[in-house]
Structure 1
Amino acid sequence: MTKFVPGDIVEVETPRGHAYVQVTHNHPSYPEVVRALAGPYEQGADAATLARLDTRFIAMIPLAAAVDMGSVSARLMGNAPVPDALKAFPKFKMSILDKHEGKRENVAYWWFWDGDTLSYDVDPGPEIEDIPPREVMSIEEFVRTISPP
Structure 2
Amino acid sequence: MIKIGDIFSIRTSRGLAYFQYVMKHKIMGSMIRVLPGVFEEPPEDMASLVNEVTNFFIFFPVAGALKLGGISKVGNFEIPEYSRGMPLFRAGNANSVTKRVENWWLWDGEKEWMVGEITDDQRKLPIRQIWNDTLLIKRIEDGWLPERDNT
TM-score norm. by structure 2 comes to 0.77
Does residue 122 (structure 1) correspond to residue 121 (structure 2)? The answer is no
Deviation of the 1:117 alpha carbon: 1.4
SS at match of 2:123: helix
Between the aligned partners of 2:142 and 2:114, the Cα distance in structure 1 is 35
Amino acid at match of 2:90: K
- Count of residues in Structure 1 that have an aligned counterpart in Structure 2: 141
Q: 1:135 aligns with which of 120, 129, 133?
A: 129
Between the aligned partners of 2:139 and 2:94, the Cα distance in structure 1 is 26
Q: What is the root-mean-square deviation in Å for CA atoms of aligned residues?
A: 2.6
SS at match of 1:55: coil
Deviation of the 1:9 alpha carbon: 0.9
More strand by share: 1
Between the aligned partners of 2:115 and 2:138, the Cα distance in structure 1 is 31
CA deviation profile, 1:95-147 (whole Å, cap 9, x unmatched): 2567xxxx665645321111111122124321121112111112101012224
Q: 1:119 to 1:81 in 2, by over 3 A?
A: same
Higher RCO, 1 or 2 (CA under 8 Å, sep at least 6)?
Answer: 1
Does residue 111 (structure 1) correspond to residue 105 (structure 2)? The answer is yes
Between the aligned partners of 1:40 and 1:11, the Cα distance in structure 2 is 10
8 A contact 1:37–1:55 mirrored in 2 = yes
Deviation of the 1:20 alpha carbon: 0.5
8 A contact 1:9–1:47 mirrored in 2 = no
SS at match of 1:9: strand
Amino acid at match of 1:62: P
Larger radius of gyration: 1
Amino acid at match of 1:76: K
TM-score norm. by structure 1 comes to 0.78
Q: 1:75 to 1:138 in 2, by over 3 A?
A: closer
8 A contact 1:8–1:23 mirrored in 2 = yes
